[in-house]
Amino acid sequence: MPTIRERTGDNPPRRYLSSANRPSGCKVGKVELVGAGPGDPMLLTLKAMESIEQADVIVYDRLVSKEIRARFPATTTALYVGKAKGEHSASQQTINELLVELAWQGKTVCRLKGGDAFIFGRGSEEMLELKAAGVPVEVVPGITAAAGCTSYAGIPLTHRGYSQGCTFVTGHAEQSLDLNWQALAQLEHTLVFYMGATKSGMIRDKLLSGGAAPTTPVALVEKGCCPDQRTVTGQLQHLPELVERHRVVSTALIVVGEVVALSEQLQWVSQVAELQQQKPLQLSA
C-alpha cells in the first residue's frame, strides 16, 4: 500500500491554518477518526468497520494490525503514515495537512488508529487542525490497548482487594516522563505504560525511588490481541532484565501492580484455542 513521505525541497508542505485558506468552490468531505482497537479484527466496533468499508481513502497507522488491514476493501486507497522509533513515514504536521487536503477534495477519509484515537493517539491534535480548516470530523471510539491487551493476557485492570483504579502513562521516547513518580508509586493503582519498553530501566528506578515495593508484579504484553501475543511476567526490580532477556519489542505494554499475580489463574486465550482445535464429538446413528 502507498506510503506518505515528507514533502521537501521545491515542494514544501502547505500549512492549512484556517478555513480561510480553503480553495473557493470546493466541496468539503469529512474525516472520521476511528479507533481500530488493539489488534484482533473481531474487536472492531460495527461503526469502525462501517467507516472502513465506506471510506474513499483510509489513512492508517503502524499499530493497525495486518489482520485488520486484510479487511480493507480492495478498491479503496489506503495510505500508510505510521511511525516507528527513529523511522517516521511522515511528520505529524504532514499527516494533518494530508487529512485536510483529502477532505478539501471532497473525500470521506477513515483515519484509522490502533487502540483509541484519543488515548495517546494524537487524535485530538488532528481534530483541532481539521476543525480549524473547516472540515467536519466524527470520532469512532476504539478499545484502547490497556483494556484489550490486559484482558487477553488474563490481567484485570481492577480487582477488589488488589487495585481500586488504574492509571495510563505514556512511555514514548519523545516524552520526558516528568511525572510525580512518588504519587504513582503510592496510588495502589494498576499502572499501564504505553510504549515504555525502551525506558524500562528508568520506569523501574523511578517507581522504586517513589516507594514501590521491588517485588511488585509486572507484566510485559507484546503484540496484544494478535495471534502471536506474548506475555512476560516478573517483578518490578527485574523489569529491564525481563525486557532484554526476552527481547521485548518497544511497543509492548508494561503493566505494574498486584493484579498481574492473577494472570495465571485468569488465563483463558490458550484454553479457548485448545477447545477450537478439538474435533467435534461424532455421534453414531
Instruction: Determine contact, residues 125/10, Cβ cutoff 8 Å.
Output: no
All residues at 6 or more sequence positions from 96 whose CB lies less than 8 Å from its CB, including other chains: 16, 125, 126, 129, 130
Q: Which of 27, 40, 56, 83 is catalytic?
A: 83
Instruction: Determine contact, residues 105/75, Cβ cutoff 8 Å.
Output: no
Distance CA 282, CA 124 (A): 55
Q: Which residues pair with 89 in a beta bridge?
A: none
Q: Cell digits for 140? A: 469512532
| Number of residues assigned to the chain | 285
Pure H helices in the chain: 46-54, 66-69, 92-104, 123-132, 145-152, 181-186, 200-209, 239-245, 269-277
Is 206 noted as a catalytic residue in this protein? no
Q: Which of 61, 107, 116, 199 is catalytic?
A: 61
Q: Which residues pair with 59 in a beta bridge?
A: 79, 111
Distance CA 5, CA 244 (A): 32
Is 61 noted as a catalytic residue in this protein? yes
CA end-to-end span of the chain, whole Å? Answer: 53
Residues labelled catalytic: 61, 83
